[in-house]
Structure 1
Amino acid sequence: MKNLIGIDKGKATELCKMLNQLLADYQLFYQNLRGLHWNIKGNEFFELHVKFEEYYNDAVIKVDEIAERILTLEGEPLHTFTDYLQTAKIKEIKYITNGKRGVELIVTNFSALILQEREILSLAGESDDEGTASLMSDYISETEKTLWMLNSYLK
């Protein structure tokens, strides 16, 4: 049985589950980035304050895109902080003021997100779900470049 957009309903359900995991993790990632943006201190304040804002603005766009993709697949996106906290693999961070430590945490979070995106991409390909595959492919390309840049910053 296929859904409205022609994807097998069973595979769409599995994709929605994986996308909801990604959604929860992006929500925690977003909030972590906000905290880093607000609390960063030191010589690199101006540079990192702006960079963290860039990342959280991007994350909030991805949150919306992921939720809308879940809806397109006829799923129901998670939308409460209770759900996010229970579902997310990314953990909350609190009161990080050190710039290097903040960047290291962002690298860890991006690394976790890209692994999930690759898993979703694989299932989307098997499911002939070009919409989800395209979205994940774009996220992966962007995250790979970001990880390279952040890793260069840390050296």
Structure 2
Amino acid sequence: MTNSIGLDEQKSEQLVAALNILLSSYQIQYMNARSFHWNIKGREFFELHVKFEEIYNQLLLKVDELAERILTIEGTPLHAFSDYLSASEIVEAKDIQNGPEAVATLLAGFTQLIKSQRQILAQAADAEDEGTASLMSDYITEQEKLVWMLKAYLG
């Protein structure tokens, strides 16, 4: 059986499950970046305050794109923060005000996002889901560069 956009229903359901975990991870990464933006202190305040805002704005766009992709392949996106906390592969960060610690936390989160997106990319290819595959490919390309930059910042 196929859904209304011609994808195998069973494979789409499996993709929805994986995308909901990814969506949850993005929501936690977003809140971590937002928290760092609000709470950063120290000599790097001015540069990191701006960078964290740039990062959380990018993450917020992806949250919306992921939820809409889930809807497009006929799934239901998770939409309760309690669900995000339980499904996320990224840990919620609390009380971090130190620049290097905040950057290292974001770096670990983006590393996890890339890993998850590579798995979904393979799953999407198997399902012949070009839309999801393309989205994952774009995210991976963008985030690989960000990981390099965050690592360079940390030295």
Q: State the alpha-carbon separation in 1 of the partners of residues 149 and 81 from structure 2.
A: 31
Aligned to 2:19: 19
Aligned to 1:34: 34
Matched residue SS, 2:83: helix
CA offset at residue 85 of structure 1?
Answer: 1.1
Q: State the alpha-carbon separation in 2 of the partners of residues 81 and 34 from structure 1.
A: 15
CA offset at residue 82 of structure 1?
Answer: 1.2
Q: State the alpha-carbon separation in 2 of the partners of residues 62 and 47 from structure 1.
A: 23
CA offset at residue 115 of structure 1?
Answer: 0.5
Q: Does 1:2 align with 2:36?
A: no
Aligned to 2:126: 126
Q: State the alpha-carbon separation in 2 of the partners of residues 28 and 151 from structure 1.
A: 20
CA offset at residue 46 of structure 1?
Answer: 0.4
Runs of 4+ aligned structure 1 residues displaced above 2 Å come to none
Amino acid at match of 2:75: G
> What is the percent sequence identity of the aligned residues?
57
TM-score (norm 1): 0.99
Report Cα offsets for 1:38-92 as digits up to 9, x if no partner.
0101111000000000000000000000000000000000000111111112111
Q: State the alpha-carbon separation in 2 of the partners of residues 16 and 95 from structure 1.
A: 33
Give the CA RMSD over aligned residues. 0.5
Aligned to 1:137: 137
Amino acid at match of 1:25: S
Q: Give the 5 Å matches for 1:1-150.
A: 1-150=1-150
Amino acid at match of 2:74: E
Report Cα offsets for 1:93-137 as digits up to 9, x if no partner.
111111001000000000011000000000101111000000000
Residue segments in structure 2 that go unaligned for 5+ positions in a row: none
Aligned residues, how many? 155
